A and B are shown apart, each in its own frame.
Chain A
């Protein structure tokens, strides 16, 4: 079962190419839709038989639509822990889906731009990822996937409340738009508060990429909508496209320019020290690697570093994470062994550039 996943570990998803509009600051755009099948309880109250029936009904609908012909259908419950973790690191499934129980699956396309989680918190969670800021393109695809499935499934829908979801915080459109941002300069200049305000003004949530705390690792932040009832999908996309993201991107650009203008030596020192550390370390934790890669990524974008290509750096963000490292090594590794393997991998990838 894990054969297709071995191949997965070796490549990077389409959304990590480091391309797309505003890619120097916007890492990725993700849209998720929550849907449930009419006539069944939500998963909290669904029997094992009902869960299996729900999964079968959704898989049958997937088989009927030609657009899913090349998708991979994986039984998440049958995967070992490492493979589940791998899918989480690639954002193909949520941590909750990986750690859940009972019949549950994930169906994704080979570019990893789209994935369908079956029996997560809701019966069906659709997800589309894009590189850079590509809200409309991502919406177009997820809307089409939703339509294709709906032709063969009857969704739980309420005249007043819209698409019904297990958690009332998702009811209505069931849409969650999340934009991942790389904001190293704002962090260095201590101006992240501005970003938090920009997001809060529009009732959007902001959190760090890895870890739930307020202190984000590696300068990555995710902005996502909280309101799903009373605002249309188009309204939500407008907020991101026209208001919040351009504002945050502008703050980061101004901060980067200010660093170049006023603190060039300090900035160069950060960037080149990070590169030096990555090229020399023999033991490196994932947090330290993430922070150094973040500064190297910024160095490439502000034109202060040329000795490495962006794609390599983007791939390393993923491949230095625990499950990816172990998959690439082909064996289970302890935390200490991983730190050695991580340092080896980084040196090997950065020395040829």
Chain B
């Protein structure tokens, strides 16, 4: 279906917008290219990256604008460059771009926000078996729920072994 621009009513609309208000109410608007440009809207060219999508839809354009120009003092990379390439410039970027990276990481890692697992020995973080035991107990509960008693028994033995001093 072809729409006429709802702003100038002269040209065929090529921008189709759906505004969703906080109340959930939707408003549809159809604009031609010129009117869209005058309202400060631009088409997204090519496939958009995950970083771009997060920035556009999660953080919002207003918040993202100053972040675009964030630059890491150590490696010199700007957030914009990272966004275009998908690769960071140095370890420090994780802190410099934290505000924009955090939602991106959470989304890419299905809600994961903190590292769980192996750590370098040199940091002296004790490698307790607590984490293992917690995991095994979770698996045990699942095995019992699934009535897989053979597996439950095996897991119970592994937990006992892990809990031995």
| Residues of A bordering B, CB below 8 Å | 36, 38, 40-42, 44-45, 121, 143, 146-147, 150-151, 154-158, 160-164, 166-169, 171-173, 175, 203, 226-235, 238, 242
Q: Restricting to B74-96, which residues have a CB under 8 Å from any CB of A?
A: 74-77, 85-91, 94-95
B108 contacts A38, C-beta separation under 8 Å: no
Q: Of A38, A203, A233, which is within 8 A of B91 by CB? A: A38
Could you say which of B2-10, B16-24, B28-36, B117-125 contacts chain A? Answer: B117-125
Q: Which residues of B contact A160 (CB under 8 A)?
A: 113-115
A150 vs B123: C-alpha distance in the bound complex, in angstroms? 11
A154 contacts B122, C-beta separation under 8 Å: yes
B87 contacts A166, C-beta separation under 8 Å: yes
A227 contacts B112, C-beta separation under 8 Å: yes
B118 contacts A233, C-beta separation under 8 Å: yes
Closest chain A CB from B116 CB (angstroms): 5
A45 contacts B135, C-beta separation under 8 Å: no
Instruction: Give the number of chain B interface residues (Cβ < 8 Å).
Output: 37
Question: Chain B contact residues: over half helix, strand or loop, or mixed?
Answer: loop
A242 contacts B139, C-beta separation under 8 Å: yes
B116 contacts A232, C-beta separation under 8 Å: yes
Say whether, besides A45-B77, A150-B120, A158-B94, A238 and B109 are in contact (CB < 8 Å).
no
A164 contacts B94, C-beta separation under 8 Å: yes
20 new A-B contacts at CB < 8 Å, known A42-B87, A230-B110, A230-B111: A40-B90, A41-B74, A41-B89, A42-B90, A44-B77, A44-B88, A147-B121, A157-B120, A158-B95, A161-B115, A167-B87, A168-B108, A172-B116, A172-B117, A173-B116, A226-B110, A227-B110, A227-B112, A229-B109, A238-B139
Q: Could you mark each residue 25-67 of chain B with 1 if its beta carbon is under 8 Å from any beta carbon of chain A, else 0?
A: 0000000000000000000000000000000000000000000
Q: Which residues of B contact A175 (CB under 8 A)?
A: 117
Interchain residue pairs with CB less than 8 A apart (16):
A36-B91, A40-B90, A41-B75, A151-B121, A154-B120, A158-B94, A158-B115, A162-B116, A166-B87, A175-B117, A227-B109, A229-B114, A230-B109, A234-B117, A235-B135, A238-B135
A79 vs B161: C-alpha distance in the bound complex, in angstroms? 50
Closest chain B CB from A38 CB (angstroms): 7
* Pairs A-B, 10 closest by C-beta atoms: A230-B112, A162-B115, A232-B117, A229-B112, A45-B89, A229-B109, A41-B90, A156-B91, A45-B75, A164-B91
Q: Of B76, B88, B111, which is within 8 A of A42 by CB? A: B88
Q: Which residues of B contact A232 (CB under 8 A)?
A: 116-118, 131, 135
B104 contacts A155, C-beta separation under 8 Å: no
Does residue B101 face the partner (Cβ distance < 8 Å to A)? yes
Q: Of B74, B117, B132, which is within 8 A of A162 by CB? A: B117
Closest chain B CB from A304 CB (angstroms): 33
A161 contacts B94, C-beta separation under 8 Å: yes
A121 vs B87: C-alpha distance in the bound complex, in angstroms? 9
Closest chain B CB from A244 CB (angstroms): 14
Question: Chain A contact residues: over half helix, strand or loop, or mixed?
Answer: loop
Say whether, besides A41-B74, A230-B113, A158 and B90 are in contact (CB < 8 Å).
no
Does residue B70 face the partner (Cβ distance < 8 Å to A)? no
Closest chain A CB from B140 CB (angstroms): 12
Q: Which residues of A contact B74 (CB under 8 A)?
A: 41
Closest to A242 in B: B139
A11 vs B87: C-alpha distance in the bound complex, in angstroms? 37
Does residue B159 face the partner (Cβ distance < 8 Å to A)? no
B135 contacts A231, C-beta separation under 8 Å: no
A126 vs B110: C-alpha distance in the bound complex, in angstroms? 25
Closest to B151 in A: A242
Say whether, besides A161-B105, A233-B117, A167 and B86 are in contact (CB < 8 Å).
yes
A41 vs B113: C-alpha distance in the bound complex, in angstroms? 23
Closest chain A CB from B146 CB (angstroms): 11
Q: Which residues of A contact B86 (CB under 8 A)?
A: 167
Q: Which of A162, A167, A230 has the most CB of B within 10 A?
A: A230
Q: Which of B86, B91, B105 has the most CB of A within 10 A?
A: B91
Q: Which residues of B contact A229 (CB under 8 A)?
A: 105, 108-109, 112-115
B91 contacts A158, C-beta separation under 8 Å: yes
B108 contacts A150, C-beta separation under 8 Å: no
Q: Restricting to B116-152, which residues have a CB under 8 Å from any CB of A?
A: 116-123, 131-132, 135, 139, 151
Closest to B155 in A: A242
Closest to A158 in B: B94
Closest to B116 in A: A232
Closest chain B CB from A49 CB (angstroms): 15
Q: Which residues of A contact B131 (CB under 8 A)?
A: 232, 234
A172 contacts B109, C-beta separation under 8 Å: yes
